[in-house]
Chains A and B, each alone.
Chain A
């Protein structure tokens, strides 16, 4: 389930950790098409692939952070399933955290402007 182990035995998951369908797949894997002899376009292709993997890793890192915070905020005692109240709490938690982040970034930018930068 973590996307490693047995190679090519099953279709590759969209993320390394992906338990449900790929409905929220924003960064699907693209097929790799390298020609046998290397060329400049192959180098660009390789860079593109590696950058994509880096983005995917950053995305997962961000989810880990959100989940850490929202788990503490929304889960009291783990039960047999996530009830709708908890689900709403998690969705709101993620969105409000992003709002807060944007707001703080904005205010920070204003502060820097007023002080004329660092």
Chain B
């Protein structure tokens, strides 16, 4: 990582705020990306033939699809974490 611009004149509170801002921006970017992915994936799974409105079965499918996508995300996260841990011990 390149060295950051001098932060010599920042106070402790400003530093904390900077980190807080970075965290928030990453969180927002992650949420947006996840939402985009969920929309893309669940459109593919649930909307076979777009009609004049989302019918109740499509709505149900979308809700389940979203929940399962999050389940899957968490399982992938867990699996990747334990793999990383295993690899680092080799």
Contact = CB atoms under 8 A, between A and B. Distances in A.
A108 B66 CA distance: 37
B54 interface: no
Contacts of A115: none
Contact of A47 (B4, B9, B65): B4
Q: For this complex, into which size category does the number of interface residues on chain B fall?
A: 35 or more
Interface of B: 1, 3-4, 7-13, 15-16, 18-20, 22-24, 26-31, 33-34, 37, 41-42, 45-46, 61, 64-65, 67-85
Interface of A: 2-4, 7, 15-20, 23-26, 32, 34-38, 42-43, 45-47, 49-51, 53-54, 56-57, 59-60, 62-64, 66-68, 70-71, 74-75, 77-82, 87, 90-91, 94-95, 98
